[in-house]
Structure 1
Amino acid sequence: MPIVTPLTKLLNIRVPVVQGGMQWVGVPELVAAVSNAGGLGLLTALTQPNPDALREAIKKTRKLTDKNFGVNITLLPSINPPDYEGYARAAVEEGVRIFETAGNNPAPFIKFFKQNGCIVIHKCTTIRHAKAAERMGADILSIDGFECAGHPGEEDIGGLVLLERASQELKIPYIASGGFADGQGLVSAMALGASGVNMGTRFMCTVESPIHQNIKEKIVASTEQDTVHIFRTLRNTARVFKNKVSQEVVRLERRPQGAKFEELRELVSGARGRVVYEIGDPDYGVWSAGIVIGLIRDIPTCEELLSRIESEAENAIERLNKLSVAKAKL
């Protein structure tokens, strides 16, 4: 039996799983594979060098799937901001009707997308920001717990409490992000009120993921202790894989005088992170990974992964139902 939730109904997908919008990873081949497998694939707009390149990525994805997919636009502080408006306009003009926003002040983008009949998922790390996005008109919220890869915010609230707080405070559907890799995790999120889950690191480690095989195998060989936070002292915390570069960043930040971003810029450059995925050297630069790496033990296709999640979720629900029946007989 399919798992039907507000997420699956609203997005017209079979499995209540969204692929995270990951820089350098959310490309047409992975996105189409996730959508073909029953989830929602998300192209990462800023992986493309400009809005016209995003148009071509959308067209390529459409050739690979006839299922729904979306576009992620993450709004981050930048000395030279990308053409966010251009990316948004290009995607809408190409017929995309599902968007994930994240980062700073999404209000203008949510307004633009809603005016064009789009569904908006907004990712946030606090209930305060979630309620603000709800007021702005978001359709679904993605609640990002402390466990997640990338930017977990500065409040260090784990998913267990954050998700239940969301159930108390929010009026629209929400999904859980950070720490999810299997059917048991999906059911646990739904037990806390979520309508599905967002998975990033887990989809990095699939056959269709564009990253180098060495990095996939490094994820499989790692444990939940193999990530670290950088930029804590700069109030821009990011969870990344624990390697020589990220540990050097932490060392510099922990000096009595701390560290300025200018001192870290070369170490943490996005270009170096991209090269990690291309050449397969896990120590070449910083790259995102969530503590969910402790649960990743193989490199399946997206179809195999989502089918397994469905089966695991069904089994988990059945176990819980048996507990209820056993109690009733006492």
Structure 2
Amino acid sequence: MKTAITELLGIRYPIVQGGMMWVGRAELASAVSNAGGLGILTALTQPTPDALRAEIDRCRGLTDQPFGVNLTVLPSANPPPYADYLQAIIDSGVKIVETAGNCPKEFFDRLKAAGIKILHKCTSVRHALSAQRNGVDIISIDSFECAGHPGEDDVGGLVLIPAAVKALTIPVIASGGIADGYGLAAALVLGAQGVNMGTRFMLTQEAPIHSNIKESVVQGSERDTVVIFRTLKNSGRVFRNEISEQVVAIERRPGGCTFEDVRPLVMGARGRATLESGNVNDGLVWASQAIGLMNDIPTCKDLLERMIGECRKQLAQASLVASA
């Protein structure tokens, strides 16, 4: 299945595994790449830039197919050494990088100088246009249905995807609420050149998290996620569990709340421990509304083959309807 994305990235299928904190490790990234998509390591999952170098080497030992690295730059009182992680990516000879957050133009310039393709994730057309001006190669447009941070505009994919396609001159891939071949077909019809999926790949056999987490999330419906951090202007979508309900309750207190009020519940170390222990109610688990479309935990290979089959069938049916 050839699109502008498969040609640019050298992959068989126009399906990208989005970067996920604590999940985007060599086991998953290599499995996605071996299955024909683009696997992504998450840089900040590794505790140091040197550890990232080692993880890139480990991934190379598991696949001879293209894979990328995600680097998400977010404001923080104690930020990690982003520039050092960037240098580790460049030094390791990685050819594809997914960026997100407030990535400075200087970073884009350094990646481009190293001959690296840049896939930048945005939640609005205005931010996508800015990234295009800064020289990125591909935009991943992330709609309100997504896991993680959907921005503050609350625009769903049915509107956001074609809006981005119409406004941009570089290829667009659709992100947020996509979990199967039906979603891939819809994204292509809306003008995207492929899709970016996080939660669906989190719920695969190769994802390096506890099976209890996978089983709990895959049993959820499209109603079993909740948006938190609304009052903090940093909205995030997570699986509905005891911790997320506590966060929402704190945010609804008269007078609102600050991040310090919820910090003990949402610390990254707590979320990581949850994914590793399997105790689904002990921390935040990021998940998209697409969990309502997931009812199994396949291998990455089986998932991609099924998606491509479903997509081709839907596109063929659409063609028949259009020609009738």
- TM-score, length-scaled by structure 2: 0.99
Aligned residue number for residue 61 of structure 1: 59
Q: Give the letter aligned to residue 199 of structure 2.
A: T
Within 2, Cα distance between the matches of 1:106 and 1:6? 26
Q: Deviations over 1:171-212 (max 9, x none)?
A: 000100001111110010011110000000000000100111
Note the 1:98-117 alignment, pairs <5 A: 98-117=96-115
State the shift of 1:321 in Å. Answer: 1.8
Q: 1:189 aligns with which of 180, 187, 197?
A: 187
Q: Give the letter aligned to residue 220 of structure 1.
A: V
| Secondary structure of residue in 2 paired with 1:102 | strand
Aligned residue number for residue 314 of structure 1: 312
| Secondary structure of residue in 2 paired with 1:64 | coil
State the shift of 1:324 in Å. Answer: 2.6
Q: 1:22 aligns with which of 20, 36, 49?
A: 20
Q: Deviations over 1:295-324 (max 9, x none)?
A: 010000000000111111111111112213
Aligned residue number for residue 244 of structure 1: 242
RMSD between aligned residues: 0.7
| Secondary structure of residue in 2 paired with 1:228 | strand
State the shift of 1:220 in Å. Answer: 1.6
Q: Give the letter aligned to residue 192 of structure 1.
A: L
Q: Deviations over 1:91-136 (max 9, x none)?
A: 1111101000000143121111001111000000000000000000
Q: Is the 8 A contact 2:72 2:103 kept in 1?
A: no
Structure 1 residue 166 and structure 2 residue 126: aligned?
Answer: no
| Secondary structure of residue in 2 paired with 1:262 | helix
Within 2, Cα distance between the matches of 1:161 and 1:213? 35
Structure 1 residue 83 and structure 2 residue 81: aligned?
Answer: yes
Q: Is the 8 A contact 2:217 2:239 kept in 1?
A: no
Within 2, Cα distance between the matches of 1:101 and 1:107? 11
Within 1, Cα distance between the matches of 2:122 and 2:165? 15
Aligned residue number for residue 140 of structure 2: 142
Within 1, Cα distance between the matches of 2:135 and 2:148? 25
State the 4+ residue runs in structure 1 displaced beyond 3 angstroms: none
| Secondary structure of residue in 1 paired with 2:79 | coil
Aligned residue number for residue 201 of structure 1: 199
Q: 2:37 aligns with which of 36, 39, 48?
A: 39
> Percent of aligned positions with the same letter in both sequences?
57
Aligned residue number for residue 261 of structure 1: 259
Q: Give the letter aligned to residue 229 of structure 1.
A: V
Q: 1:118 aligns with which of 110, 116, 119?
A: 116
Within 2, Cα distance between the matches of 1:233 and 1:66? 45
Q: Deviations over 1:23-64 (max 9, x none)?
A: 000000000000000000000000000100000000000000
- TM-score, length-scaled by structure 1: 0.97
Aligned residue number for residue 214 of structure 1: 212
Q: Give the letter aligned to residue 311 of structure 1.
A: G
Aligned residue number for residue 92 of structure 1: 90
Within 1, Cα distance between the matches of 2:160 and 2:319? 25
Q: Give the letter aligned to residue 127 of structure 1.
A: V
Within 2, Cα distance between the matches of 1:64 and 1:292? 29
Within 2, Cα distance between the matches of 1:198 and 1:307? 16
| Secondary structure of residue in 2 paired with 1:257 | coil
Q: Give the letter aligned to residue 148 of structure 2.
A: G
Within 1, Cα distance between the matches of 2:150 and 2:119? 17
Q: 2:5 aligns with which of 4, 7, 12?
A: 7
Within 2, Cα distance between the matches of 1:88 and 1:293? 32
Aligned residue-pair number: 324
Aligned residue number for residue 152 of structure 1: 150
Within 2, Cα distance between the matches of 1:141 and 1:167? 9
| Secondary structure of residue in 1 paired with 2:61 | helix
State the shift of 1:82 in Å. Answer: 0.6
Q: Give the letter aligned to residue 275 of structure 1.
A: A
State the shift of 1:274 in Å. Answer: 0.4
| Secondary structure of residue in 2 paired with 1:198 | strand
